[in-house]
Amino acid sequence: MKKIITTQIVIALIIAANFAIDQGTKAYADKHLKSSPRQEILGDFLALEYAENTGAFLGAFAGSNKILRILLLKAFPLLTIIFITFLTFFSKKITILNKISFAFIIGGGLGNLYDRFFRNGYVIDFLHMDFHLFQTGIFNIADLSIMIGFALLIISLFSKKKD
């Protein structure tokens, strides 16, 4: 029982940390980058560039009608987060690594969902990376959290060890 409670506390802290870091960095971007030109941090590799994304990943669905955007960018993510949260906290059949993976996805998802509900439907993006062979779109910490979560899920698929 103690292990279950400790695990749930750790999972809740991972979710809260991802959400807080995301919202803190977005507040910084809103205050300091909104009216600034692109700022290169590590040469061409990492730059800060403020953007308001009314769509999903790379602006997908930004030009869609309002009802479709509400369904795809608010309702579906909210239901998905509720489902994954329930699974993470109450399923005894998933591994610790899966729970950690889901915690990153939930924390990042909540960060972007919070923006969609409380920033007139847009998400603040501000990070851009150039790997010379390819460039990323402009993204945020919530997106990074979600990608880390999915990477951990992929790792867990190849992991034979069970909890």
Torsion of CA 71, 76, 78, 82, to 10 degrees: 150
- Which is nearest to 49 in space by CA: 136, 150, 160? 136
> Structure tokens of 133?
């062979």
Is 125 assigned a catalytic role? yes
Q: What is the mean pLDDT of residues 104-121?
A: 95
Is the Cβ–Cβ distance between 88 and 9 less than 8 Å?
A: no
Mean pLDDT score across all residues of the chain: 90
Can you give the length of the chain in residues?
163
Strands 123-129 and 46-53: antiparallel
- Active-site residue (options: 22, 44, 125, 163): 125
Which tens digits make up the pLDDT trace of 2-50?
777 899 999 999 999 999 999 999 999 999 999 999 999 888 899 999 9
Q: How far apart are CA 146 and CA 102, in angstroms?
A: 9
pLDDT for 24 equals 98
Is 130 assigned a catalytic role? no
Q: Tell me the chain's radius of gyration from C-alpha atoms.
A: 17
- Model pTM score: 0.89
- Active-site residue (options: 22, 44, 143, 163): 143
